[in-house]
Amino acid sequence: MPVWAEIDHAALAHNVRLLRARAGDAQLMAVVKADAYGHGLLQVARTAVGAGATWLGVAQMPEAFALRDAGITTRLLTWLAVPGADFAGAISRDIDLSASAPWALDEIAAAARSVGRTARVHLKVDTGLGRGGAYGPDWTTLVRHARPLEAEGVITVVGVWTHFAHADAPNHPTVLTQQDRFFEAAAEAEREGCRLEVRHLANSAATLLHPSAHADLVRPGLALYGLSPVPQVDDDFGLRPVMSLRARLALVKRLPAGQGISYGHLYAPEHDTVVGLVPAGYADGIPRNATNVGPLAVGDTRTRVAGRVCMDQFVVDLGAGSGARAGDVATLFGGAPGEPTAQDWAEMTDTISYEIVTRVGARVPRIHVNQSPDEAP
């Protein structure tokens, strides 16, 4: 295998248990959208449920269908549908749906009538993120649109929910104003007659830092995967990284001082040196702007990308004394002490660790390790 992502299910289960403990009485929804942030949807979902997640959450309906069609029966919410989406397919698969606008309630209701089942709906309120959800007076309109559909028996409003703009900035004033607005909106829905089962707003950062936002259910994503949503805070919360991205050197050779390396010759060793060829490139999700900066570990050597990251490969400078050989393992990021982290890659490439793990390409096999026997696929 030239390049692979090792997915450590013991670390994942540890993180789920740790987040559950932080969440107190709230239930835990494991957010497994985007192929579980690149880690593998079904495998991650099974381990998360085995470790105590009582809900799963995904953005897109096809992701929810994939979970159900694989036999996963855990309570499941999907939240980002467009007009014409297969709401009937979702209802018949017992998937909870989100609505931010009356059109969504109407489509869900029509689908529920057609399949002869009641749809479970979570109304989304925009408390100040300025993205999804019903904003301002639209909230009242949304709630009042839902009530007759509940009376008809085609939907039941089981949840009210929102999402933070600045949960990752622990002391940002909007965290509290959004939270206040949220509980006010939920209370309004209850005054109008909704009988809410779950009110939920906490992502990873709020799960870790804002107990007052835990409400009935927390929705961590990134922290499940062992990455800190608040890297500026000097605390890893005891999380363990789940993904390690590794490759085997495809070639090791000597190059003389001054020989430019890779496209554009953006790197040239000052002294004669030994270089290794890493068979992973931007097609595999390695950021092209990791050119000359992406950190790696090869054996005990810490080194960097030397020259351009290409589509399928890049070079590392191992130093003149290197005894590395073709086939040796290079770790781009991992979980063990001394290995570079996804957060290191994020900092070197001006992004966030979410993007580093989620962008790992379809060509990179996920190797699942430490799965407990009853969670293995």
Active-site annotation, residues: 33, 263
Q: How far is the CB of 164 from ligand PLP (least distance, A)?
A: 9
Q: How far is the CB of 333 from ligand PLP (least distance, A)?
A: 17
Residue nearer to ligand PLP on the CB measure, 220 or 340: 220
Bridge pairing between strands 155-161 and 75-78: unpaired
Residue nearer to ligand PLP on the CB measure, 170 or 279: 170
Using CB under 6 A, pick the residue from 221, 285, 287, 334 that binds ligand PLP.
221
d(CA 280, CA 340) in angstroms, rounded, equals: 16
Residue nearer to ligand PLP on the CB measure, 163 or 308: 163
CB 290, CB 349: distance < 8 Å: yes
Cα atoms in the Cβ-side hemisphere of radius 13 Å centred on 160: 26
Two structure tokens written together for 356: 């580093």
Which residues inside 158-187 make contact with ligand PLP, applying CB under 6 A?
A: 163
Q: How far is the CB of 11 from ligand PLP (least distance, A)?
A: 16
Residue nearer to ligand PLP on the CB measure, 206 or 274: 206
Site size toward ligand PLP (CB under 6 A) is: 12
Two structure tokens written together for 242: 């789940």
Q: Is 222 in the site for ligand PLP (CB under 6 A)?
A: yes
Q: Is 58 in the site for ligand PLP (CB under 6 A)?
A: no
Overall size of the chain counted in residues: 377
Residue 133's closest CA among 125, 141, 142?
Answer: 125
CB 96, CB 72: distance < 8 Å: no
Q: Is 220 in the site for ligand PLP (CB under 6 A)?
A: yes
Q: Is 133 in the site for ligand PLP (CB under 6 A)?
A: no
Using CB under 6 A, pick the residue from 159, 229, 269, 295 that binds ligand PLP.
229
Residue nearer to ligand PLP on the CB measure, 231 or 279: 231
Q: Is 203 in the site for ligand PLP (CB under 6 A)?
A: yes
Which residues inside 69-98 make contact with ligand PLP, applying CB under 6 A?
A: 79
| DSSP-based helix, strand, coil % in the chain, nearest 5 | 35, 25, 45
Residue 95's closest CA among 125, 68, 66, 123?
Answer: 68
Residue 98's closest CA among 76, 114, 66, 116?
Answer: 76
- Specify binding-site residues for substrate: 131, 311
Q: Is 128 in the site for ligand PLP (CB under 6 A)?
A: no
Query: Which helix H or strand E contains 43, and what residues bound it?
Result: helix 41-50
Segment contacting ligand PLP (CB under 6 A): 15-23, 217-225, 291-299, 319-327?
A: 217-225
**Burial level of 331, CB count in 10 A (0-12/13-18/19+)?**
buried
Binding residues (CB under 6 A) for ligand PLP: these are 31, 33, 59, 79, 163, 203-204, 219-222, 229
